[in-house]
Amino acid sequence: MTVRSDLSNQDDLLDVVQMVLQGAAANVRPDLERQMRVAAAELADGRPAMIIAETVIHALQQLEADLRSRRAVMADPRRRARLATEARDDEGRLRA
């Protein structure tokens, strides 16, 4: 087993922070984007990695909840009917 240096762990954590930042941006979560930018700055300033890791885990949990909610909406069997009705209504308004 190889013992990794703290610097390597910080680099890995920074990579994770960057990935969560991208996920927050893709999911339109400016609050989480802000948290991840702060986390990256704190990591660069030498703050304990454990505190930053907890922030990252919290952000991931929030993104997971968002995605579960979105998945439930997408799986709703009534969704297709609602979308078809909305499309017909929009088409009618365009023609009028």
Classify the C-alpha dihedral 82-87-93-96 as positive or negative.
negative
Of the candidates 26, 79, 29, the residue with the CA atom closest to the CA atom of residue 58:
29
- Walk along the chain (96 residues) and give the pLDDT tens digit of each residue: 343 445 568 889 999 999 999 999 999 999 999 999 999 999 999 888 899 999 999 999 999 999 999 898 888 888 878 888 888 988 888 888
Q: Which tokens sit at 38?
A: 């702060």
- pLDDT at residue number 7: 55
Distance CA 34, CA 38 (A): 6
CB 24 within 8 A of CB 63: yes
pTM of the shown model: 0.70
- pLDDT at residue number 42: 94
- pLDDT at residue number 43: 92
